[in-house]
């Protein structure tokens, strides 16, 4: 074929190409068949026609070839292809990717651009692309994910499932927030899909058990850098079944795996149930611990909330009766009714102050973790200063708790063995009227109180300590062993893990969480009512802040104690010549109202959590 004839044929082809749907930048397109007449040594017309770009003209990409004659003369030569002209979304993602930062262009992955076919979600094609550059891919190909994809399971994770196709973000510093979050977030995409996990026979409660753990709750609150993520235990690419000797979660490798965070981890330490749940068959110990703690919570709240409701109604009726009696002139007036007597000493007030500080601090920092799934939890945690600050505050308040507990122990020993103003031997002191130890009188008081609730008898008169005050005091001892003991285990896991099996931490977590919930709910509802909310004391009783009570309060609330002091001739020893100072009262009353307000606000948040599916 002569050169003139060839030019004629190419010119006719050029005219035909102008009607193709995809045009070049200047409106001129060239039929691929025309181009291949010269480029048949590098490209097959059939292969190009079957590719994703087969419906396009060559000049759709090679826009510089606007004049065929100039191209044949070597003047209009194609430059680098700008994929953005058609692939705007993909290009935008690529520009925000780590590939762009490392000068990886479209053609570096799509090197088969002229023969590239639709991938149709075939993850093996993605892997084939990635392994051409990432020569450290053996771990992934040998993993349970890689093996499954190779075998044709499109549910299994391939490179793009974790890293995306084009928007492959740089992870940066291994300890950065983005990096640490990535360790878990990408895993949740698949493992939180119950249907996918079930059809693949995968342990489908891994996400729930992780999210219920300390690690998962802290991650959910927005602080993944403080805890272990999925990849920290299972690795990023070499994920293997735990019975595989090479698996990071294999029993033989667990010490090394745990030691990444817990440097002094031991074989006993690794007995921890990483994904333990309250399953009777799989984890009977955890199941029965949970049942026991739940039973304790339900029974305690049931008894005392009923007690509170009955008292609330009966106290309301009593106040009305007093008002009517006063209106009719039948109210019994007590001489010197406002004379002040001392009920508590300064050390009692100081210890109670420590109790309030520590309890509020523990509640404010512990409840967001308990209810991490709630939207208010992350907000409250951020207000505190974050999970790390919360952990410091929580531990500091725990130390205060041990301090006031030690103070209570010291005062108890002093009362039983040292004090000279308390008469009688050890047993008399232990079960006497000035002791906080329960005795037979408390049974009579409870019975009389219930009869009063039901309008079956008069309101009982009490000694120095009522049965509900004794319960509060003894609860501190129980709480120190339950909350304090479990809290110490969770605070120093490596120490306790050196001589206790790891599953003890699972048990400690259940006990600590549920007992703390019991204590918080009890204090902010039952105790607040008994102390401040009952009709005869509402809105607040300040006796624990200033240690003072009037003669009228003394006789009406603790009539038997008053009679005993009268008989002993010791009443005058408890008279206070003047009330506490103005500034003192102002500070403690403001503090008291603030404490009650915070407590009641936390009750509202807890109720909201339980009514909106967050009571875990």
**Band (382; pLDDT cuts 50, 70, 90):** very high
Rounded CA-CA distance 32/47 in Å is 11
pLDDT tens digits for range 431-455: 999 999 999 999 999 999 999 999 9
> Minimum mean pLDDT among 67-81, 284-298, 368-382: which range?
67-81
pLDDT tens digits for range 165-181: 999 988 878 888 888 89
Please determine, for residue 610, whether its predicted confidence score (pLDDT) is greater than 80: yes
| Confidence at residue 14, expressed as pLDDT on a 0 to 100 scale | 42
| Confidence at residue 328, expressed as pLDDT on a 0 to 100 scale | 84
Q: Packing angle between helix 387-413 and helix 375-384, nearest 10 degrees? A: 80
Per-residue CA distances from 302 to 262, 295, 467, 521 (Å):
41, 10, 17, 12
Range 301-309 average pLDDT:
97
| Confidence at residue 8, expressed as pLDDT on a 0 to 100 scale | 46
Rounded CA-CA distance 513/616 in Å is 9
Asked whether 130 and 99 are in contact (CB, 8 A), the reply is: no
DSSP 455-480: TSSPPPP--SS-HHHHHHHHHHHHHI
User: Quick check: helix, strand or coil at residue 575?
Assistant: strand
Rounded CA-CA distance 439/422 in Å is 17
Place of tokens 């100039």: 70
pLDDT tens digits for range 194-221: 999 999 999 878 999 999 999 999 999 9
Neighbours of 69 (CB within 10 A): 12
Neighbours of 210 (CB within 10 A): 24
Q: Which residue has the higher pLDDT, 21 or 418?
A: 418
Please determine, for residue 478, whether its predicted confidence score (pLDDT) is greater than 80: yes
List residues bridging with 342 in a β-sheet. 548
Rounded CA-CA distance 140/240 in Å is 10
pTM value? Answer: 0.86
Place of tokens 């601090």: 361
Please determine, for residue 114, whether its predicted confidence score (pLDDT) is greater than 90: no
**Band (33; pLDDT cuts 50, 70, 90):** confident
Please determine, for residue 507, whether its predicted confidence score (pLDDT) is greater than 70: yes
Q: Are strands 340-342 and 548-550 parallel, antiparallel or unpaired?
A: antiparallel
Rounded CA-CA distance 175/163 in Å is 18
| Confidence at residue 484, expressed as pLDDT on a 0 to 100 scale | 95
| Confidence at residue 3, expressed as pLDDT on a 0 to 100 scale | 47
Domain with CATH 1.20.950.20 in the chain: 284-301+339-611
Average pLDDT, the chain: 90
Cβ-proximal residues to 207 (8 Å cutoff; 6+ apart), any chain: 188, 191, 192
Shortest CA distance to 598 belongs to which of 409, 356, 393, 416? 356
Cβ-proximal residues to 432 (8 Å cutoff; 6+ apart), any chain: 422, 424
Cβ-proximal residues to 560 (8 Å cutoff; 6+ apart), any chain: 433, 461, 462, 463
Shortest CA distance to 465 belongs to which of 560, 567, 556? 560
Please determine, for residue 543, whether its predicted confidence score (pLDDT) is greater than 60: yes
The H or E element that residue 511 is part of is helix 503-521
| Confidence at residue 383, expressed as pLDDT on a 0 to 100 scale | 96
| Confidence at residue 28, expressed as pLDDT on a 0 to 100 scale | 53
Place of tokens 């285990």: 489
pLDDT tens digits for range 142-166: 999 999 999 999 999 999 999 999 9
**Band (315; pLDDT cuts 50, 70, 90):** very high
Class of domain 284-301+339-611: mainly alpha
Cα-based angle 356, 358, 363 (whole degrees, multiple of 5): 95
| Confidence at residue 587, expressed as pLDDT on a 0 to 100 scale | 94
Please determine, for residue 227, whether its predicted confidence score (pLDDT) is greater than 90: yes
| Confidence at residue 349, expressed as pLDDT on a 0 to 100 scale | 94
Per-residue CA distances from 197 to 5, 206, 298 (Å):
66, 10, 35
């Amino acid at each position: 074929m002569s050169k003139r004839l060839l030019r004629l044929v190419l010119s006719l082809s050029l005219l035909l190409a102008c009607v193709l749907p995809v045009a070049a930048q200047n409106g001129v397109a060239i039929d691929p068949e025309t181009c291949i007449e010269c480029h048949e040594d590098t490209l097959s017309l059939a292969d190009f026609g079957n590719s994703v770009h087969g419906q396009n003209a060559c000049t759709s990409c090679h826009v510089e070839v606007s004049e065929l004659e100039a191209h044949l003369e070597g003047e209009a030569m194609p430059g680098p292809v700008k994929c953005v002209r058609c692939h705007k979304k993909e290009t935008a993602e690529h520009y925000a990717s780590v590939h762009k930062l490392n000068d990886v262009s479209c053609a570096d992955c799509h090197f088969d651009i002229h023969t590239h076919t639709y991938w149709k979600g075939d993850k093996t094609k993605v892997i084939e692309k990635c392994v051409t550059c990432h020569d450290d891919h053996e771990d992934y190909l040998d993993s349970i994910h890689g093996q499954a994809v190779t075998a044709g399971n499109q549910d299994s994770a391939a490179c793009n499932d974790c890293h995306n196709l084009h928007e492959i973000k740089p992870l940066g510093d291994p300890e950065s927030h983005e990096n640490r979050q990535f360790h878990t977030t990408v895993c949740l995409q698949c493992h939180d899909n119950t249907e996918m996990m079930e059809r693949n026979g995968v342990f489908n409660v891994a996400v729930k058990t992780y999210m219920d753990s300390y690690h998962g709750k802290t991650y959910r609150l927005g602080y993944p850098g403080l805890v272990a993520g999925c990849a920290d235990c299972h690795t990023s690419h070499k994920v293997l079944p735990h019975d595989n000797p090479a698996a990071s979660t294999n029993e033989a490798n667990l010490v090394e795996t745990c030691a990444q965070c817990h440097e002094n981890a031991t074989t006993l330490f690794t007995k921890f149930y990483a994904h333990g749940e309250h399953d009777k068959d799989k984890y009977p110990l955890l199941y029965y611990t949970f049942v026991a703690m739940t039973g304790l919570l339900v029974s305690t709240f049931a008894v005392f909330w009923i007690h509170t409701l009955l008292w609330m109604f009966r106290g309301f009726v009593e106040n009305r009766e007093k008002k009517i009696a006063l209106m009719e002139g039948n109210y019994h007036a007590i001489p010197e009714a406002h004379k002040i007597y001392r009920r508590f000493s300064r050390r009692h007030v100081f210890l109670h102050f420590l109790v309030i500080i520590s309890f509020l601090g523990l509640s404010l920092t512990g409840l967001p973790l308990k209810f991490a799934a709630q939207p208010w939890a992350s907000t409250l945690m951020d207000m505190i200063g974050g999970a790390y600050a919360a952990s410091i505050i929580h531990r500091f308040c725990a130390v205060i708790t041990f301090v006031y507990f030690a103070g209570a122990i010291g005062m108890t020993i002093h009362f039983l063995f040292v004090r000279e103003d308390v008469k009688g031997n050890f047993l008399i002191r232990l079960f006497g009227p000035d002791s906080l130890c329960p005795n037979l009188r408390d049974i009579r008081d409870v019975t009389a109180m219930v009869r009063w609730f039901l309008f079956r008898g008069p309101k009982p008169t009490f000694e120095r300590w009522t049965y509900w005050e004794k319960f509060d005091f003894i609860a501190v001892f129980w709480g120190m062993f339950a909350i304090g003991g479990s809290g110490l285990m969770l605070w120093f896991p490596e120490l306790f893990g050196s001589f206790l099996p790891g599953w003890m931490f699972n048990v400690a977590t259940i006990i600590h969480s549920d007992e703390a919930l019991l204590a918080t709910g009890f204090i902010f509802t039952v105790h607040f009512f008994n102390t401040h909310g009952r009709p005869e004391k509402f809105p607040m009783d300040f006796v624990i802040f200033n240690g003072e009570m009037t003669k009228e309060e003394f006789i009406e609330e603790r009539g038997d104690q008053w009679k005993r002091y009268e008989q002993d001739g010791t009443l005058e020893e408890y008279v206070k010549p003047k009330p506490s100072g103005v500034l003192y009262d102002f500070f403690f009353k403001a503090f008291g109202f603030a404490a009650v307000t915070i407590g009641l606000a936390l009750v509202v948040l807890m109720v909201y959590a339980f009514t909106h599916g967050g009571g875990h």
